[in-house]
Structure 1
Amino acid sequence: MRFLVDAQLPPALARMLSARGHLAEHVTDIGPADSPDRDLWLYALDHKAVLITKDEDFSSMLVFGGEAPIVVWIRVGNTSRRALIEWFEPLVDRVVEMIEAGNDFVELR
């Protein structure tokens, strides 16, 4: 599966996903970290990438309808990079299963 990791999340998250056999990019791999949300949205659509974000704006953008990428919204508070990766890694297979089952929005708390 292909993933695009948003700027609020560490590049290490994309590296962990790559190590698990997925194609994963961090926003900084494709352009500036402060790229507008709309640009990331369109990139994810064009590349059929699942957008992983902590940004509530992307979940709000889904409300408007139309063509949209699959969004994984991580809703954990501020944490260290290591703690975030340790929390997220055991969830990867379940997230993939949910997406493959047809979910276009996955919220993780």
Structure 2
Amino acid sequence: MRFLIDANLPFRLAKALKARSYDILHTDELPNKERTSDKEIREISVNQDRIVITKDSDFLYSHIIQGIPTKLLLVTTGNIINKELISLFDKYFDNILQLFEIYDIIELNNDQIIGHEK
């Protein structure tokens, strides 16, 4: 699985996941960096078959209405420090990967991961 992390999540998260050998692209690595539009992110996710990781609920609405991005990891933790966020990903990421075999939308909050039907 390949992932694209939105600008509303820290580049440190991308580095932490890359260190675990996951195929991760952060918007800071794209030409427009943090100014990469939602439309561009959706296009990249489709063209490169990447799962979007974001806090932006606009991607949820886009997925429901247009089916794009095809898979989405929606982070609903609120504002937490980077260390706690990375710790949540360390704790749950293997389970998240398994859930993407069943669900197109996964929600990660402070306490759990939830798979959502379309």
TM-score (norm 2): 0.85
Unaligned runs of 5+ in 1: none
Q: Give the conservation status (yes or no) of the 8 Å contact 1:72–1:105.
A: yes
Q: Give the conservation status (yes or no) of the 8 Å contact 2:73–2:106.
A: yes
State the structure with bigger RCO (CA 8 A, min sep 6), 1 or 2. Answer: 1
Match of 2:85 in 1: 84
Unaligned runs of 5+ in 2: 110-118
Q: Which amino acid aligns with 2:25?
A: E
Measured in 2, the distance between the counterparts of 1:53 and 1:67 equals: 14
Q: Report % sequence identity.
A: 29
Q: Which amino acid aligns with 1:49?
A: R
1:22 aligns with 2:56: no
Match of 1:60 in 2: 61
**Superposed CA offset, 1:13-50 (max 9, x none):** 11111111211011011132121101101101111111
TM-score (norm 1): 0.91
State the 1:52 CA deviation. Answer: 0.3
C-alpha RMSD over aligned residues: 1.3
